[in-house]
Amino acid sequence: MSKISFLFLLGILTAILPMTGFPSGWKNLFYALTGLLVCLVVLSLRKEINSLKQSLKGREHTITDSFVQNSHIDAYGKSAKIASESNAKHIIN
């Protein structure tokens, strides 16, 4: 079960709990346990999201869906001619 599904299930449990026939002491215990479980799952999700943000921030180049024909693409995703005029002069000389 995914963490999002587990949070959804805890939300349904919290919504249904007042309509059950449990004594108020048991309901209070269930509410406290549900709240603690929600906190733990949210902290776990937050840690995963932060690590994902850090890994995405560290990328050097951009991944795009575009296709450029007959050109060279550098590390930053920009296209440029393979042999420009200034490079061609250096190669020839």
Give this prediction's pTM: 0.54
- In angstroms, the CA 27 to CA 90 distance is 81
In DSSP notation, 1-41 reads --HHHHHHHHHHHHHHGGGS---HHHHHHHHHHHHHHHHHH
Q: What is the pLDDT of residue 62?
A: 59
Question: Per the structure, how many domains does the chain have?
Answer: 1
Provide the pLDDT for residue 66. Answer: 65
- What's residue 57's pLDDT? 79
* Domain encompassing residue 76: 3-92
Q: Which of 50, 45, 59 is nearest to 8 (CA)?
A: 45
pLDDT tens sequence across 32-80: 999 999 999 999 999 998 888 888 877 655 566 666 565 555 655 555 5
Cα distance between residue 93 and residue 90, in whole Å = 5
Predicted pLDDT at 92: 54
